[in-house]
Amino acid sequence: MPELSFEPLTPTAFLDRAAAAHGDRTAVVDGDLRFTYTELHDRCRRLAGGLGPLAQGRPVAVLAPNTHVLLEANFGVPWAGSPLVAVNTRLAAGEVAYILEHSEAAVLVHDPVFDALVDAAFALLAAPPRRVRAGAGYEGLLRGASPAARTPHDERALLSINYTSGTTGRPKGVMYHHRGAYLQALAIGRAHRLSPSAVHLWTLPMFHCNGWCFPWAVTAAAGTHVCLPRLDPAQVWRLLRTEGVTHLEGAPTVLAMLAYAAEAAPLDRTVRVATGGAPPSPAILRRMGELGFDVTHLYGLTETFGPAMICDWRPEWDGLDGEAQARIKARQGVGNMIGLAARVIGADGTDVPADGTSVGEIALRGNNVMLGYFKDPEATAAAAPDGWFRTGDLGVLHPDGYVELRDRSKDVIVSGGENIASVEVEQAIADHPAVLEVAVIAVPDERWGEVPAAYVTLHEGASATEAEIVEHVRARLARFKAPKQVVFGELPKTSTGKIQKFVLREKAWAGHERRIQ
């Protein structure tokens, strides 16, 4: 007898449903281009048909800004039977080359704006992947292909590989599964209140955690995707008004850019905003509220399909004064509807008291946690020693069950929503011939939340300037990873010669309630 009660979960099914139920409605707005859900469905299936013979099941990488090409890849690549590798567009050529080689990508689809970056990355590879350039080449691939759509037999099969900076410096490939992305999309849709009337503006980089699963969540709701290749506040405000945008996301730095843009003025409707990466400040929350934005704080990592926790607002908090509301909105919150309740764990592996003061490491588990790190079982085991994923973030659990971050246990700096491994920056700086020792930590920054700062000891008789150190890093890593300040001098050390980063942090974060922002 055929199986009646089970169908493997996959987020690509949302596009099948949207095309069947809302085929004539606008799915995508990308500059002058507009596609209905019927057209988007056909394009994604043709993309699958074109990529299938080229990739033969191996990963397909995409290097593109927030355009219809990357949006289509979230459906077309899995339908081709290949994992999707969405590459961070802000990386340097060496970093891109590493990801292409490590992921074993068979094909790279890229936007023409990255021609020079791809040329430089390919020059570093002995066997570069097949190259498909967006525009005429991409459209030709679609025209010449027959529609195809492979769906997984195993819902926990590999859907995508998302690379994140790790504490070892080399990016780790986080493996997403179909089941997790499907369920996470539903959780995101519920938390963000998406519906067929939603008009979603892509202010969040679509390469980040597959756009926090919003490509699938917005499609599940049959809302409209408004593409935004470059984050320009003036353009955002224009689209807010001309396209009737109802939803967007971004780090607190993005909110600040919008809140204080010259074009900012109160809207005639409420626009729902999701933010993460750092707690939004009371001033930003107040300003966004005045303009008509309803801000919800989310928390998550690449390893958790993006936002695994939400500061779920309770109606009884509506009567609190603005300062009290801002303090609550700054919390990371509770697990979303598909994950287990978050834990805050002490050094002995047991849960700390829910008293709002006892600090422990936040641990997560559930359907929205990765399969593991691609080709790195040791790192996978270390990240979840007892079946609970250790986030590397330290926090407290309030009596009402809401989690609030206080510090980081790993040497990862989160600046403007981007992860920066301090050891990676240290290695780049240490390669400078004048540098003897270096320590890189996060320091508070009004615009970006936190930024990398380098503390450097030079070889005796050697000389180097702050500008030289910064340019040295920029030549090797993505520009956003370069230190924003360089302090020269002797580094604090233990009796055994180990650099005491905590001493540097104590001084840098003096006067701040938490060492994370």
Asked whether residue 3 is domain-assigned, the answer is no
* DSSP assignment letter at 281: P
Q: Is residue 331 part of a domain?
A: no
Domain count for the chain = 2
The domain spanning residue 90 has which CATH number? Answer: 3.40.50.12780
Left (φ > 0), alpha (ψ -120 to 50) or beta: where does 356 sit? left
Instruction: Among 297, 314, 342, give the residue marking a domain's end.
Output: 297
Tell whether 227 is covered by a domain: yes
pLDDT recorded at residue 331: 87
Distance CA 176, CA 174 (A): 7
Same domain, yes or no, for 292 and 421? no
- Checking if the pLDDT of 96 tops 70, the result is yes
Domain encompassing residue 182? 15-146+154-297
Residue 281: which pLDDT band, with cuts at 50, 70 and 90? confident
Q: How confident is the model at residue 493 (pLDDT cuts 50, 70, 90)?
A: confident
Q: Is residue 473 part of a domain?
A: yes
Phi, psi of 292 (to 5 degrees): 105, 15
Q: At what angle do helices 252-259 and 282-291 cross, to 10 degrees?
A: 50
Q: How far apart are CA 111 and CA 379, in angstroms?
A: 33
Domain boundary among 297, 319, 344: 297
Question: For residue 259, which amino acid is it?
Answer: A
What's the CATH number where 488 sits? 3.30.300.30
Q: Of the candidates 297, 326, 350, which is a domain's last residue?
A: 297
pLDDT tens digits for 378-398?
999 999 999 999 998 888 999
* Predicted TM-score (pTM) of this structure: 0.85
Q: Are residues 279 and 426 in the same domain?
A: no
Q: Could you report the per-residue pLDDT of 311-345, keeping only the tens digit for each? A: 999 999 999 988 788 888 888 999 999 999 999 99
Kindly state whether residue 383 falls inside one of the protein's structural domains: no
Residues 189 and 56 in one domain: yes
357 domain residue, yes or no? no
**Secondary structure of 60-106 in HEC code, one letter for each residue:** EEEECCCCHHHHHHHHHHHHCCCCEEECCCCCCHHHHHHHHHHHCCC
What is d(CA 426, CA 455) in angstroms, rounded to the nearest whole number?
Answer: 9
Does residue 350 fall inside a structural domain?
no
**pLDDT tens track for 55-79:** 999 999 999 999 999 999 999 999 9
H/E element, 248: strand 247-250
In a domain, 452, yes or no: yes
Judgement on whether residues 427 and 284 belong to the same structural domain of the protein: no
* DSSP secondary structure string for all residues of 337-385: TTBPPPEEE-TTSSBPPSSSS--EEEEE-BTTS-SEETT-HHHHHHH-T
- How far apart are alpha carbons 133 and 263 in whole angstroms? 35
Res. 515 pLDDT band, cuts 50 70 90: low
State how far the Cα of 388 lies from the Cα of 375, in Å rounded to an integer: 20
Measured between alpha carbons, how far is 517 from 224 in angstroms, rounded to an integer?
32
- Residues 419, 292 share a domain: no
Count other C-beta atoms under 10 Å from residue 505's C-beta: 17
- Residue 460 or residue 175, greater confidence: 175
Measured between alpha carbons, how far is 405 from 95 in angstroms, rounded to an integer? Answer: 30
